Structure 1
Amino acid sequence: MTTNKINNRWTPIKTTKKSFYTCQGGSVQIAREQFPLVMAEAITIHKSQGRSESKIVIDVRNPSKTKNHMDRQKWYVALSRARSLNGLYILGAFKPPSEIKPNDEVNAEMNRLRQNPLVPKYQFLRIIPENVIQIISHNTQSIRKHITTIVSDQVFTNSHIVTLQESWAVDNESYNIPEFEEISRNRLIGRPRAFGTINFCKLN
């Protein structure tokens, strides 16, 4: 293959030859000649969100499509798709995005949240009137795994009755919640262990 008449801005792609046997220790040898090309794809920056690639090419050569659209959010998404700088390629001129302005919408929203902190909707669960009995039902997905969290959570400890679904409780194990007594334990015979209910009642 001659390359003396090819534009020096082009990269020649030559065929490669490889030989291999049909299987390990096989007697039939196969030779293959082909262009070393791999199927690729092009997607938008929005579509690429959530992906990580070893090599990416960001094409910003077409000003009619990228003008006034490559803000810092899009640059962040595009650049952060590459796992390393060695696998990051930019076609066209990289123009740093403008700095964050004082009236930036994100800054304004963050300041609003700081000045008006949200009050948890479940706050009432921590303060229980004397004439009210509170029962909490929770899908715990293994009481053994989450017992430490349960005994340290005021939502549970301030309740009068605690019933836990999908307890995955083992028959010969006991689970202690301070100031509570286990009153019943149910499981479905012949079903997987990701079932069962265990109930606790406050002693006083």
Structure 2
Amino acid sequence: MIAIIDYGAGNLFSVRNALEYLKIEHTISADPAVLEAADELILPGVGAFPDAMRMLRESGLVPVIREQAAKKPLLGICLGMQLLFEKGVEFEETEGLGLIEGSVRLIDAGGLKIPHMGWNDLTVLNPCALTVETQNGDYVYFVHSYRAETPDETISCYTNYHERIPALVHRGLIYGAQFHPEKSGSVGLAMLRNFAGLAGERK
């Protein structure tokens, strides 16, 4: 079962709808006991990095997420992906979850519109379990103004929006999608299906 983490700053229902479409067992919860019992975790997120981290801290879920991420697959989506890094600099420097090396900064769009919104193609840099069906040139849906800075070895896929932007990152059991897989058609649904299968592969 996948637990979608409810901390007040996530787009829970689009993720839920995608999992329902895929017939993947899931629940939405802020209960540490439920998160501990789940096979996989999804951390969604919309809004600003400092606000989301404050809400996570106030929920008491930061230590729970850090502990569970060492034991089971975790997928951060959009802002949820950004929270996986060591820090963000949106409005002010804010400590992140520190699960993946790197930081989060404003996109250098070179005059292109911010936020970066719409469909952009992927380039696979380091294949991972989520990208089994992913091809170079596949399109996924983005809505964001900030991007991760992280070593190449953690970047599974990237896109270009004036500069190279990590689109899917991966370290151990931890995955992060800057795009919205639940809104990215068959490409994104395949990634969610692959993520849901990770726990079964580990048993």
TM-score (norm 1): 0.26
- Which of the pair has more CA radius of gyration? 1
Task: Kindly indicate whether structure 1 or structure 2 has the higher relative contact order, using CA contacts under 8 Å at least 6 residues apart.
Answer: 2
TM-score (norm 2): 0.26
